[in-house]
Structure 1
Amino acid sequence: MTSAPRDRDTEGRARSARPRDGLGRPLPYGAPGVERQPEGVVRSPGGTLAEAQALLDEGKPFHAHEVFEDAWKSGPQEERELWRGLAQLAVGLTHAARGNARGGARLLLRGADRIAGFRDPHGIDVAGLVLWARELVARVEAGAGADARAEAPRLTR
């Protein structure tokens, strides 16, 4: 049995070329999709927050998660858990909006716990995000579902 060759990016790493919708779900090849975020982009903290907020406001938390992931991987060591937690909040919202209440709740809580010890670096409203995540978890676990655009949090004060 032979398998189909894997899609590769320009550096030769495995990366699906399938288009994706606004919540990051793969679509059939050739279907119109949402442009993917480039990987490995180094941004300032303010640039990261602005780009991620714009994506969240558009109902694209999966794509915002990719922006946070770049900051997590390229930022200073002392901030990596902050950016990782923000990425988890975004992907938690993604899962909740896809209808995966259990996975979404787990990631939202994990992200909230991860950022809770930070004291509003770069103007990030940590307390507000932790509250937002916990309230969203309660609604999602109660069966309310989540709308990615309507539930988008404000990252800064």
Structure 2
Amino acid sequence: MDETHRDRDAEGRARNARPRDGLGRPLPYGTPGVERQPEGVARTPEETLCEAQRLLDAGMPFHAHEVFEDAWKSRPVAERELWRGLAQLAVGLTHAARGNATGGARLLRRGAAALAEYGAARPHGIGVDGLIGWAGELAGRVEPGGGAADARRASAEPVDAAVEAPRLRPLEP
């Protein structure tokens, strides 16, 4: 595809046909990329959590975010903040893995705040309290001026998304 051609649907919206890497960054046309998650898939909570965990473990939090976004848009209103918060955690990890420490930390904290109301309930077996702790700890480590690292190191070195991937559900003993 010609790089000057803008791939649009009949209404003029971008189709995003450009190949992407595992962190969702655009690659040059003609470059093999990571297969995108199909949009608008209505999954059960179990299917959503299994697919998102698989993607997180593979170091693909951007793609996990898309899975959570589908749940956010299709699940009952009472659960939407849960799925939105999980999507924000995945995007926060994406930004941290891309080297955007400030944006990553901000989204990790925003996602944790969205999950706070669900902590004690453990909806769908999700370890909400553990995710909130994970998000706060990672945000503190990557944020410029946060954690033990100096600001230059924190803002310059991306994290390894697969190594930092959270467990959505605690492992049973």
Q: Bin the TM-score by the shorter chain.
A: over 0.9
Partner of 1:127: 129
Runs of 5+ consecutive residues of structure 1 not aligned to the other structure: none
Name the CA distance, whole Å, in 1 between partners of 2:5 and 2:59: 32
Q: Where does the alignment leave 5 or more consecutive residues of structure 2 unmatched?
A: 144-148
What's the offset of the Cα at 1:10?
8.9
Among all aligned residue pairs of Structure 1 and Structure 2, give the percentage whose two residues are the same amino acid: 74
Q: Post-superposition shift, 1:146? A: 1.4
Q: Does 1:136 align with 2:138?
A: yes
State the match for 2:166 in structure 1: 153
1:60 alignment counterpart: 60
TM-score, normalized by length of structure 2?
Answer: 0.85
Alpha-carbon separation, structure 2, partners of 1:11 and 1:73: 21
TM-score by length of 1: 0.93
- Equivalent residue runs for 1:40-119 within 5 Å: 40-118=40-118, 119=121
Report how many aligned residue pairs link the two structures. 154
TM-fit CA distance, 1:11: 8.7
Quote the offset at 1:23 in angstroms. Answer: 0.3
Match of 2:146 in 1: none
Post-superposition offset of 1:92: 0.3
Aligned-residue Cα RMSD (Å) equals: 1.6
Distance 2:73 2:105 in 1: 24
Kindly tell me: are residues 132 and 75 of structure 1, through their superposed partners in 2, closer, same or farther at Cα, counting changes over 3 Å? same
Deviations 1:69-107 (A, max 9, x none): 000000000000000000000000000000000000000
- Asked which structure has the greater CA Rg, the reply is 2
Q: Residue type matched to 1:131 in 2?
A: G
Give a deviation string over 1:31-77, Cα, whole Å, max 9, x none.
01000000000000000000000000000000000000000000000
* CA distance in 2: counterparts of 1:73 and 1:85, whole angstroms: 12
Which structure dedicates a bigger proportion of its chain to helix? 2
